[in-house]
Amino acid sequence: MRNGISNPTASLEVLNQVDYAEAGVYLRGVSDILADLPVSDIEVAVDRLFRAYQQGRTVYLFGNGGSAALASHAACDLGKGTMVDGKRPFRVVSLCDNIPLMTAWANDSSYADIFSAQLRPLLEPQDVAFAISGSGNSPNVLNALRLSKDGGGVNIGLTGCGGGKMKTLCDTCIIVPSRQMQQIEDSHVCVMHAAFFGFRKRLHTAERAKGASIGNYGIPVGNR
């Protein structure tokens, strides 16, 4: 048994949700998935993010539903949590946060355009388009990746379900080895936090070589 189910290759439509009725079964499935994550792909993605920082590029994150929430979460972590006193901040933007603009594009054009339309006037060569999609097949995510690819951007994907159509559009694609959406989303949060700490480690190493410091690796909890 892997991923908490007897048939991990079953499609999303036919997975038996009763398999996840017990918390222990569900959590063991998540643990199995985390043990099988493609760590080397995560490291390559972190290298691409750090290169973008060094070159003064901007990272744009986007996704739908839970992936939209993670895009905003990751933009907060990478933007705020990597600040170095006296140094320029990392430019990280979530394309999921301007609700009026997204609904305007969805209403007046198409929901498939809500990310690509935002990205079109902003993207510069070597900027990073960071797409998050559990299925890898969301049309609005794919359209933004195509626009980035055509505009000279660097595409990073975070997905599951074998990668879907997204994987062929990405320079680096992190594919969670599961077809169960909730466990894919759980794993995506872990991947993004791992990427965040990997980025901070690279930044810490670079700044320490210059005699600077970003403090310890822990993030102040504050009132969260």
Is the per-residue pLDDT at 210 higher than 50? yes
Look at the domain 38-209 and name its fold.
Rossmann fold (3.40.50)
Separation of alpha carbons 179 and 177, rounded Å = 7
* One-character DSSP codes across 63-88: -STHHHHHHHHHHHHHHHTT--TTSP
Q: Give the helix/strand (H/E) hosting 91.
A: strand 91-94
The 10 Å Cβ neighbour count of residue 110 is 14
* Token digits of residue 48: 């691409």
* Token digits of residue 33: 């998935």
Amino acid of residue 147: L
The answer to whether 156 touches 15, Cβ cutoff 8 Å, is no
pTM of the model: 0.86
Name the residue among 203, 201, 198, 217 with its Cα closest to residue 42. Answer: 198
Q: Each residue of 124-163: pLDDT tens digit?
A: 999 999 999 999 999 999 999 999 999 999 999 999 999 9
Is the per-residue pLDDT at 116 higher than 90? yes
Q: Residue 114, exposed/middle/buried by CB under 10 A (0-12, 13-18, 19+)? A: buried
Domain locations in the chain as residue ranges: 38-209
Query: What does each C-alpha distance from 11 to 7, 167, 188 come to in angstroms?
Result: 9, 18, 19
The percent of residues above 90 in pLDDT, for the chain, comes to 75
Q: Each residue of 192-209: pLDDT tens digit?
A: 999 999 999 999 888 777
pLDDT, the chain, mean: 88
Amino acid of residue 163: G
Name the residue among 200, 63, 83 with its Cα closest to residue 134. Answer: 63
pLDDT of residue 209: 73
